[in-house]
């Protein structure tokens, strides 16, 4: 496989903006290359495999012809470093890779192919370089990408003859005459592919053509004679070297088992979480068949019983005493948009006895005994995903107290960067055994099958697994200093979130319906105006048609070139709008924006439950920094910076029985955390002065009075200040502000001159994390960053940006969680009806009952401001209104 050729092709085939990590590392070339690699290994099933890479452009060809490939543009910034990352992935796959100083990947491929063919192998070459067609034979096939990175065409001798009318061995002769613009090899004036093919067919070879060149009497023949030395040079450069000295030969390229742990870790670091992608990659592991054939580790044996009516109370009395060892709890439930029920429950003890029962079959004494056990904080329980359990159990009127461990949250605190917190994955990794699996219904929920005992045994096995995992994590939590985080923060927050999910937030369906129509009409209006501006109809959703209109018909300035044409993404259209008076780029941006808004609103309408409210699902285990996330729908991502986006927030309204919505959020919390951690006196003073932070900082950085700070100065300082908290580089800042990297660097240097404490803290944060292998928030939440000591510069720099970001963003996330717990506790303590509905990053949204507004605002301000003590004190803003937008402040 030609590594550089295919990685470069992948880079241009996949949009950069869709493939990058949270630290800004572009991964489109990695993703596309590995995707092609997986498919090829699957389809070709090679026994031996290797990848060849170019070292640099300083090759023997460049020495012989200094203009060789000199016309090629500078390597794109987004591509730099991705080849190294691909190399690390190949190493984890234990694939041999070659890069030989002075030679191109083509020469390495030619050498290996020649050796392999002579040894009796059938050879396939995957490359985007047509020069490899000269290697094609009865035993050598070239697989040439003809559509992005997804489609390969097989070039056999017959296919080469069909395509060029020549034998594969004659391809270098043909290429020498034709010239190769991609390699900067000049052609012959007036000689194209047809003439080149005709001459090679007529004379049989390049050497014979040169020997008899005077026989060609046409003008083309004279041009050939005039450029003969150039053509001879082309011929030497086009011929591949077949005897490069290599460290090993074909026989040593036999495929071996992946280093799965390292490969998984790399995919996690690169944030490539697509399950289909991973499945295809690991399915190509030569050891996959053997691994699948190995019998799974046996699950733990439990002495379980299916309880009948009247048996649960006595069982709990015998096995679940107050102050005793925890019971493991597992359940099968059916939760949907604000409603749900529990279908089956299993309990397990550490000694072996376990029980299964159907909640619908409980008699009154059993249900009372079970509800009493659940609500007794002195009778400990271990669960997996406590938030979801508490949410659905509440539908039966059951309140759960005494949860001492949540195995999902415990795993998250021990390994915050892991990909899966599913119970089956944790069981295999931490207990070394497979999770018992009851049958699944079509919805993915566990369901009673024909064999009730087998079903019950499996769920009881899960309950025992939960219990055993809880005990296994106890020591690990202590090792990483996270036991208190679990007990005092994450578990209480999960209970609060479960109530917030059940409450949901009221939605104005009619308003949303009107918005959907408004955005649909606006999108159609943009379509009509675009058609009128161009003079004919075309599909605005087709990149190909749009390219033809913009760059072909209208002749607008060319944007960045990709393999599929000139890019028409949002950045390109915005740039075009500044380069031309034609209205089409602006209309395209409006069409896409309105279409996206319509889709957002349509999605929200579909999630309105029977109670007229939208019930999002919160997660505590998605973001490695500790921030909460929201899905189905994502209410943390409702647009707010445009009039249309704010109109969507207007649809979230106060519900029946309540008076208003209240929003409360922290002002510039991450910058206050950065000021606290850095102890920079100047930055702390900027916060405590009571003046606008960004104006105050700008006056110091630019050396002007505060009243001379213009909006552009303030914008630059705001972007840079927040960027520092996220590990933003000078290049990243330049892209964000639309200035040169040099200007961005000067801006950062000046900032650090004024605020040396921030510079010293950022340097110290990275070095301390490098020494211990992790970062830590003020409250001790860790994020492990093994790549801080990586020899790969890209991975090391990614980890360094994480080391800057994690303590600041993580501390801010911890503060918001503490604030939620304090506000919730105070609401309950005062017996207020008002309640929290949403948490959106630094903002809390509450539903306020009649007559409680002043009391709620007072307690919210006090509890949020007092969540922690910072050198730059926390500042809380509060707003009230009939809907989310009106309650903004």
Which pLDDT value is given to residue 563? 61
Q: What is the mean pLDDT of residues 580-590?
A: 92
Q: Compute the 3-state secondary structure of the chain and give helix, strand, coil in percent, each to the nearest 5.
A: 55, 15, 35
Residues 345 and 402 in one domain: yes
Q: Residue 201's pLDDT band (boundaries 50, 70, 90)? A: confident
Torsion of CA 784, 790, 794, 800, to 10 degrees: 40
- Residues 497, 817 contacting (CB under 8 angstroms): no
CA distance 400 to 329: 11
Tell me: do 545 and 678 sit in the same domain. no
Sorted by sequence, the CB contacts under 8 Å of residue 508 that are 6+ apart come out as: 650, 651, 652, 653, 883
**Which of 614, 637, 654 is at the close of a domain?**
614
* Chain-centre distance for alpha carbon 138: 44
Are 185 and 238 spatial neighbours (Cβ–Cβ below 8 Å)? yes
- Examine the fold and report which residue of 423, 447, 482 is the final residue of a domain before the chain moves on: 482
**pLDDT at residue 536 is higher than 90:** yes
Secondary structure class of 434 (helix, strand, coil): coil
Euclidean distance between CA atoms 93 and 1, whole angstroms: 14
Q: What is the pLDDT of residue 71?
A: 59
Number of Cβ atoms within 10 Å of the Cβ of 369 = 19
Residue with tokens 């379980």: 304
pLDDT of residue 438: 62
Phi, psi dihedral angles at 593 (to 5 degrees) = -65, -45
Which pLDDT score is estimated for 23? 67
Contacts of 185 (CB under 8 A, 6+ apart): 65, 68, 175, 176, 179, 234, 237, 238
Beta partners for residue 144, in sequence order: 153
**Is there a domain that residue 149 lies in?**
yes
* Total domains, the chain: 4
Mean pLDDT across 178-200? 75
Domain assignment of residue 225, yes or no = no
- Strand pairing of 303-306 and 353-357? parallel
Rounded distance, CA 109 to CA 96, Å?
A: 13
* Residue 21 Cα distances to 416, 671, 738, 798, 799, angstroms: 16, 23, 21, 9, 11
> Residues 255, 49: contact at Cβ < 8 Å?
yes
The arithmetic mean of pLDDT across residues 482-497, rounded, is: 96
380 and 419: one domain? yes
CA distance 292 to 283: 10
**SS3 at position 404:** strand
Residue 101's CATH number: 3.40.50.1010
CA distances from 297 to 211, 300, 530 (A): 74, 9, 63
pLDDT confidence tier of residue 219, bands split at 50, 70 and 90:
confident
To which H or E segment does residue 339 belong?
strand 339-348
* Residues 456 and 318 placed together within one structural domain of the fold: yes
pLDDT tens figures, 842-875 = 999 999 999 999 999 999 999 999 999 999 999 9
- Give the structural domain span for 606: 505-614
pLDDT in tens, 396-445: 999 999 999 999 999 999 988 777 899 988 998 888 888 887 654 333 33
* Residues 535 and 390 occupy one common structural domain: no
Residue 817 to residues 626, 795, 806, 822, 834, Cα–Cα distance (Å): 9, 31, 16, 9, 18
Q: Which conformational region is residue 546 in: left (phi greater than 0), alpha (psi within -120 to 50 degrees), or beta?
A: alpha
Are residues 465 and 510 located together in one domain of the fold?
no
Gap between the Cα atoms of 298 and 69, Å rounded: 60
pLDDT score, position 289:
56
- Residues 343-395: pLDDT tens digits? 999 999 988 799 999 999 999 999 999 999 999 999 999 999 999 999 999 99
Q: Are residues 124 and 258 in the same domain?
A: yes
Q: How many CA atoms lie within 13 A of 318 on its CB side?
A: 12
**At 147, which helix (H) or strand (E)?**
strand 140-147
Q: What is the pLDDT of residues 152-165, one digit of tens each?
A: 888 999 998 888 88
Asked if 436 and 339 sit in the same domain, the reply is yes
The 8-class DSSP code of residue 253 comes to G
CA distance readout (Å), 16 to 13, 79, 706, 731, 793: 9, 9, 40, 16, 20
Helix (H) or strand (E) holding 41: helix 28-44
Q: How far apart are CA 586 and CA 595, in angstroms?
A: 14
Write the DSSP string, 465-495.
HHHHHHHHHHHHHHHTT-HHIIIIIIHHHHH
Average pLDDT over residues 521-545: 92
pTM beyond 0.85: no
Quick one: 256 and 138 in the same domain? yes
Residue 323: inside a domain, yes or no?
A: yes
C-alpha–C-alpha distance, residues 699 and 717, integer Å: 10
Helix locations, 239-353, DSSP H: 260-269, 275-283, 288-293, 312-319
Radius of gyration of the chain (CA): 33
Average pLDDT over residues 131-153: 84
Residue with tokens 């870790």: 265
Residue 450 confidence (pLDDT) above 60: no
Q: Is residue 40 part of a domain?
A: yes
**Partners of 561 in beta bridges:** 566
Q: Band the pLDDT of 841: cuts 50, 70, 90.
A: confident
H helix runs in 636-740, sequence order: 643-649, 669-678, 681-688, 693-702, 711-725, 730-737
CA dist., res. 453 & res. 426, Å (int)? 25
First-last CA distance in the chain: 58
Asked whether the beta carbons of 872 and 682 are under 8 A apart, the reply is no
**Confidence at residue 297, expressed as pLDDT on a 0 to 100 scale:** 53
Residue 667 is given by DSSP the state: S
What 3-state DSSP class applies to 507? strand
Q: Which residues contact 845 (CB under 8 A, 6 or more apart)?
A: 505, 661, 662, 663, 836, 837, 838, 839, 884, 887
Beta partners for 147? 151
Residue given tokens 């270098």 in the structure block: 172
Which secondary-structure segment (H or E) carries 125? Answer: strand 123-126
Report yes or no: 698 and 714 within 8 Å, Cβ to Cβ.
yes
Question: Does 587 score more than 80 pLDDT?
Answer: yes
- The pair phi, psi for residue 353, each rounded to 5°, is -60, 135
Per-residue pLDDT of 280-317, as tens digits, reads 888 889 887 555 444 445 556 778 889 999 999 999 99
Q: Is residue 315 part of a domain?
A: yes
Determine the pLDDT at residue 821. 98
Residue 467 and residue 539 in one domain? no
Residue 333 is part of a domain; what is its CATH number?
Answer: 3.30.420.10
Element (H, E) at 763: helix 756-772
CA distances, 216 to each of 227, 879, 883 (Å) = 14, 88, 85
* Closest among 674, 622, 535, 822 to 22, alpha carbons compared: 622
pLDDT of residue 604: 94
> What whole-number distance in Å separates Cα of residue 647 and Cα of residue 638?
10
Query: Which pLDDT score is estimated for 300?
Result: 65
Distance CA 370, CA 320 (A): 11
Is 331 within the bounds of a domain? Answer: yes
CATH number of the domain encompassing residue 732: 1.10.150.20
Round to whole Å and give the CA distance between 554 and 861.
Answer: 57
> Of 183, 134, 146, 139, whose CA–CA distance to 36 is shortest?
146
Residue 69 has a pLDDT of 65
268 burial via Cβ count (<10 Å: 0-12, 13-18, 19+): middle
- Interstrand relation of 303-306 and 151-155 (parallel, antiparallel or unpaired): unpaired
The rounded distance, in Å, linking the Cα atoms of 556 and 554 is: 6
Other Cβ atoms less than 10 A from the Cβ of 857: the count is 18
- The answer to whether residue 749 sits within a structural domain is yes
Q: Is residue 53 part of a domain?
A: yes
Q: What pLDDT, on the 0 to 100 scale, is given for residue 73?
A: 58
Which range has the worst mean pLDDT, 212-221, 302-311, 392-401, 599-608?
Answer: 212-221
Q: Which two tokens stand for residue 139?
A: 């035993």
Please check whether residues 396 and 513 belong to one and the same domain.
no
Residue where one domain finishes, among candidates 773, 791, 806 = 806
Q: Name beta bridge partners: 348.
A: 328, 354
**pLDDT for the residue 223:** 75
DSSP per residue, 841-876: TTEEEEEE-TT-HHHHHHHHHHHHHTSS--SS---E
Classify 152 as helix, strand or coil.
strand
Cα–Cα nearest to 600, from 566, 661, 651, 559: 651
CATH of the domain at 526: 1.20.1060.10
Report the length, in residues, of the chain: 889
Mind giving me the DSSP string for 555-579? -PPP--EETTEE--SHHHHHHHHHH
Q: Please indicate, yes or no, whether residues 41 and 112 belong to a single structural domain of this protein.
A: yes
């Amino acid at each position: 496989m030609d590594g550089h050729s295919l990685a470069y092709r992948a880079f241009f085939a996949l949009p950069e903006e869709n493939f990058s990590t949270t630290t800004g590392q572009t991964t489109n070339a990695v993703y596309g290359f590995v995707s092609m690699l997986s498919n090829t290994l699957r389809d070709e099933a090679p026994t031996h495999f290797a990848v060849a890479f170019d070292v640099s452009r300083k090759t023997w060809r460049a020495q012989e012809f200094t203009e060789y490939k000199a016309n090629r543009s500078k390597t794109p910034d987004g591509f730099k470093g991705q080849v190294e990352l691909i190399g690390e992935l190949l190493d984890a796959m234990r694939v041999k890779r070659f890069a030989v100083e002075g030679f191109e990947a083509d020469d390495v491929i030619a050498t290996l192919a020649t050796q392999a063919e002579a040894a009796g192998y059938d050879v396939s070459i995957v490359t985007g370089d047509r020069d490899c067609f000269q290697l094609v034979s009865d035993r050598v096939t070239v697989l040439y990408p003809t559509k992005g990175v997804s489609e390969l065409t097989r070039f056999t001798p017959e296919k080469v003859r069909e395509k060029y009318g020549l034998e594969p061995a004659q391809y270098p002769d043909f290429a020498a005459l034709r010239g190769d613009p991609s390699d900067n090899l000049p052609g012959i004036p007036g000689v194209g592919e047809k003439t080149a093919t005709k001459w090679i067919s007529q004379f049989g070879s390049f050497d014979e053509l040169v020997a008899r060149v005077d026989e060609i009497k046409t003008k083309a023949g004279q041009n050939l004679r005039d450029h003969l030395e150039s053509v001879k040079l082309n011929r030497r450069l086009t011929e591949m070297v077949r005897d490069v000295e290599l460290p090993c030969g074909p026989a040593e390229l036999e495929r071996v088992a992946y280093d799965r742990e390292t490969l998984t870790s790399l995919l996690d670091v690169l944030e490539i979480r697509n399950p289909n992608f991973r499945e295809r990659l690991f399915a190509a592991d030569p050891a996959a068949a053997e691994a699948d054939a190995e019998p799974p580790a046996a699950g733990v044996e439990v002495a379980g019983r299916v309880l009948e009516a009247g048996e649960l109370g006595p069982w709990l009395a015998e096995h679940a005493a107050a102050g005793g060892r925890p019971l493991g709890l597992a359940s099968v439930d059916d939760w949907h948009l604000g409603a749900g029920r529990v279908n089956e429950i299993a309990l397990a003890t550490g000694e072996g006895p376990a029980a299964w029962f159907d909640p619908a079959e409980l008699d009154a004494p059993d249900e009372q005994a079970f509800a009493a056990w659940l609500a007794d904080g002195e009778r400990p329980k271990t669960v997996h995903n406590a938030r979801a359990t508490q949410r659905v159990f509440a539908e039966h009127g059951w309140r759960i107290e005494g949860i001492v461990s949540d195995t999902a949250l415990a795993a998250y605190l021990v390994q915050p960067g892991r990909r899966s917190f599913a119970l089956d994955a944790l069981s295999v990794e931490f207990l070394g055994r497979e999770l018992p699996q009851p049958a699944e219904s079509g919805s993915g929920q566990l369901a009673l099958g024909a064999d009730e005992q087998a079903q019950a045994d499996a769920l009881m096995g899960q309950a025992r697994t939960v219990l055993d995992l809880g005990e296994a994590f106890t020591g690990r939590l202590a090792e990483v200093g996270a036991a208190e985080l679990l007990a005092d923060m994450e578990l209480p927050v999960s209970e609060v979130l479960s109530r917030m999910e059940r409450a949901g937030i009221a939605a104005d369906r009619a308003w949303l319906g009107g918005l959907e129509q408004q955005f649909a009409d606006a999108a159609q209006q943009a379509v009509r105006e675009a058609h009128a501006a161009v003079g004919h109809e075309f599909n605005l959703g087709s990149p190909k048609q749009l390219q033809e209109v913009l760059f072909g018909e209208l002749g607008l300035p060319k944007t960045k070139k990709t393999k599929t044409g000139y890019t028409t993404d949002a950045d390109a259209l915005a740039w075009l709008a500044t380069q031309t008076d034609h209205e089409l780029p602006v209309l395209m941006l409006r069409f896409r924006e309105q279409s996206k808004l319509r889709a957002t609103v349509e999605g929200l309408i579909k999630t309105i439950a029977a109670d007229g409210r939208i019930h999002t699902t919160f997660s505590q285990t998605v973001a490695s920094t500790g921030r909460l996330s929201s899905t189905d729908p994502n209410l943390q991502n409702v647009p707010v910076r445009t009039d249309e986006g704010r109109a969507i927030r207007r649809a979230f309204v106060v519900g029946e029985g309540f008076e208003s919505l209240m929003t409360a959020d922290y002002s510039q919390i991450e910058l206050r955390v950065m000021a606290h951690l850095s102890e920079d006196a100047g930055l702390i003073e900027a916060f405590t002065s009571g003046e606008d932070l960004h104006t105050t900082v700008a006056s110091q950085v630019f050396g002007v009075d505060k009243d001379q700070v213009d909006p552009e100065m303030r914008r630059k300082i705001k972007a840079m200040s927040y960027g520092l908290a996220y590990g933003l580089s000078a290049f990243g800042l330049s892209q964000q502000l639309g200035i040169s990297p040099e200007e961005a660097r000067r801006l950062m240097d000046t900032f650090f001159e004024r605020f040396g404490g921030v510079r010293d803290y950022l340097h110290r944060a990275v070095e301390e994390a490098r020494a211990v292998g992790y970062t830590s928030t003020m409250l001790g939440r860790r994020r492990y960053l093994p790549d801080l000591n990586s020899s790969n510069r890209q991975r090391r720099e990614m980890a360094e940006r994480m080391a800057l970001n994690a303590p600041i963003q993580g501390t801010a996330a911890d503060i918001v969680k503490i604030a939620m717990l304090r506000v919730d506790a105070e609401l309950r303590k005062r017996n207020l009806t008002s309640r929290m509905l949403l948490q959106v990053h630094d903002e809390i949204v509450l539903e306020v009952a009649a007559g409680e507004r002043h009391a709620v605002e007072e307690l919210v301000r006090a509890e949020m401001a007092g969540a922690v003590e910072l050198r730059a004190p926390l500042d809380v803003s509060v707003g009230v209104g009939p809907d989310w937008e009106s309650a903004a402040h």
